[in-house]
Structure 1
Amino acid sequence: MPRLHVLVLPGWQNSGPRHWQSRWEALYSDVRVEQSDWMHPLRGDWMMRLDEAIGELEAREESPQVALVAHSLGCQLTAGWAAHSRKTGRVRAALLVAPPDVERDEVRGVLHSFTPIVRQRLPFPSLAVISTDDPFCALDRARGMAIDWGSQVLEVRGRGHLNADSGLGDWPEGRQLLADLLRNPAAGN
């Protein structure tokens, strides 16, 4: 079986050193898909960069397989990219953590290119982890996006935006969720 590459897809403003995504890079050698502009994101540019990252893997090895680990705006990136890319067959599964509501008035200006939210079913298994008190997305909106994407949904209580401020540390539970999803991808679809 081809080697599995875990690609980390941070959200708006990137993930800092205390964020579980950054910790996973250090612990497991996951690879961050670097964007050219973390502060003024453009969906098309971000989608192109994800396509390039997978293309770089294809140039180095035959039939690479990828797991996407998205947080916040990285979830919206995954949905938009999957609706247009020809490289989706490389993705074995996606862990989508804390998808934000980019259609809210207070973020619509800076995240304008990520609206409307892409709500097509993802062509690969996925698990959406959503918090009951995420300040960037009401629970019903997060649940609705996940259902539209065909994702399995896991609701966690009182973890905010599931980021560094949520006290997750290395978030071993999240890593186990990814491992379970990869072991049994049918459960995520």
Structure 2
Amino acid sequence: MNEAGTATVVIVPGLRDHVADHWQTHLAGKLRKVRTVPPLEHDKLSREARVAALDGVLADIDGPVILVAHSAGVMITAHWAQRHSREVRAALLATPPDFESPLPDGYPTPDDLRRNGWLPTPRQALPFPSIVAASTNDPLARFYRVAEMARDWGSRLVDIGAAGHLNPAAGYGPWPRAEELIDDLDREEGRS
């Protein structure tokens, strides 16, 4: 990995925050210029609080940023992009959930998500280049729904195969493909 050029990589975790054997945690441990959005102490399901936490991290960084979001972190990123305009070079958006469809047991209900500001899902084009990495058997989103989000966001869709939700429960600690996709984004942005 080329360390994403001069950009700082900002890890945007999902609702379960920092997970020890998660690919984002492994990635953060390998990079020199990296920040992770910290877990919330209160209002853990609040979209507004999550977006503010991401913006707070970005406010402390000088220079370009590459966002690396997973699951609800993708939705945090999409909501953040609607309201803020800090310099973001690009984003890797891995396995976004379909919050507009009922999620499996153990996850927030559509009513919980609506009450906490997650719905509707933002569909405006993102103001920076992005890749959406989509799994063909993600229990939190059907592939065609993720493809629709990618299209609406102006993102390049990358089919990562049957990777579940790309988390430890699906067998992912390290995910080397993340480094490749970040490098792709960095090279693409460097050519533009």
TM-score (norm 2): 0.86
Counterpart position of 2:146: 142
Q: 1:39: Cα distance to partner?
A: 7.4
Counterpart position of 2:113: 111
Cα shift readout 1:34-59 (whole Å, capped 9, x = no counterpart): 1425873211111112111111124x
Percent identity of paired positions between Structure 1 and Structure 2? 35
Q: Which runs of 5+ in 2 are unaligned?
A: 104-108
TM-score (norm 1): 0.87
Summarize the alignment of residues 54-133 of structure 1 with structure 2, pairs less than 5 Å apart. 54-58=58-62, 64-87=63-86, 90-106=87-103, 107-112=109-114, 113-133=117-137
Q: Aligned partners of 1:76 and 1:156: how far apart in 2?
A: 19
Counterpart position of 1:4: 7
Q: Which runs of 4+ in 1 moved over 4 A?
A: none
Q: 1:168: Cα distance to partner?
A: 3.2
Partner of residue 30 from structure 2, selected from 14, 27, 30:
27
CA distance 1:38–1:167, shift in 2 (3 Å): farther
The Cα RMSD (Å) is 2.1
CA distance 1:186–1:65, shift in 2 (3 Å): closer
The structure carrying a bigger helix percent of its residues is 1
Contact 1:71/1:96 (8 A) holds in 2: yes
Q: Aligned partners of 2:112 and 2:41: how far apart in 1?
A: 12
Which AA in structure 2 matches 1:98?
T
Q: Aligned partners of 2:131 and 2:74: how far apart in 1?
A: 11
Q: Aligned partners of 2:167 and 2:80: how far apart in 1?
A: 23
Q: Which runs of 5+ in 1 are unaligned?
A: 59-63
Cα shift readout 1:90-134 (whole Å, capped 9, x = no counterpart): 110000000001122343233222110000000000000000000
